[in-house]
Amino acid sequence: AALTGCTSTYNMKVLKSPSGKLQRTHSVAIKTPQNGHFGGQSYSESGKMTADAFNSGFSKYSSDVKLVPAGKTRSDYAGLKKMYYVEPEILHWEERATEWSGKPDRIEIKVNVYETSSMNTVSSVVFTGKSKWMSLGGDHPQELLPKPIEDYLKSVY
């Protein structure tokens, strides 16, 4: 008999595919999204953890990756050459005590990538992640970020 529930599951919905591969020579600026929330609870640091996960992922493809400083917006980057502006948005962030409730952690992240010289959207995706339900505890939603980010970046670079 196959054992189910032992692995986390992911899904990616492409809203806009790039016309070609993203350029490794472009620098990358990543905006920190607002913190995620679920059921009236806001998850502090979830925005920073999401930005850090994208920073780690993009750093494998570009030698110049940085987080957008607080107070800066997409318009501050308009017109810059050879740069992508990455704008993640946490649509759903749900942390559960899976080990005793049987309810998995869940995330849903939308990310838009803009080419700053034109500010055209070059890529847009929504990915979801759901933790394994068979857990010994200590799992968190942010642990669902690296795999879909890695899969997404492999598809666009």
**9-156: what CATH class?**
alpha beta
Which token pair is 16? 């806009």
Q: For position 7, what pLDDT does the model report?
A: 75
Q: For position 95, what pLDDT does the model report?
A: 81
Q: For position 143, what pLDDT does the model report?
A: 86
What span, in angstroms and rounded, lies between the C-alpha atoms of 99 and 146? Answer: 22
Q: For position 55, what pLDDT does the model report?
A: 98
Say whether pLDDT at 4 is over 90: no
- Asked if 28 contacts 86 with a C-beta cutoff of 8 angstroms, the reply is yes
The values of phi and psi at residue 118, to 5°, are -115, -15
Tens digits of residue pLDDT in 47-60: 999 999 999 999 99
Say whether pLDDT at 21 is over 90: yes
Residues in the chain: 157
Q: Which of 23, 34, 115 is nearest to 77 (CA)?
A: 115
Q: For position 2, what pLDDT does the model report?
A: 39
Residue 25: which H helix or E strand, with range?
Answer: none
What span, in angstroms and rounded, lies between the C-alpha atoms of 141 and 97? Answer: 11
Amino acid code (one letter) for 11? N
- Asked if 33 contacts 88 with a C-beta cutoff of 8 angstroms, the reply is yes
C-alpha separations of 41 from 11, 44, 82, 90, 92 in Å: 24, 9, 39, 14, 11
Mean pLDDT computed over 117-136: 86
Specify the higher pLDDT residue, 67 or 103. 67
- Asked if 144 contacts 36 with a C-beta cutoff of 8 angstroms, the reply is no
pTM here is: 0.89
- Asked if 109 contacts 126 with a C-beta cutoff of 8 angstroms, the reply is yes
Q: Which of 13, 87, 83, 20 is nearest to 50 (CA)?
A: 87
Mean pLDDT computed over 10-18: 95
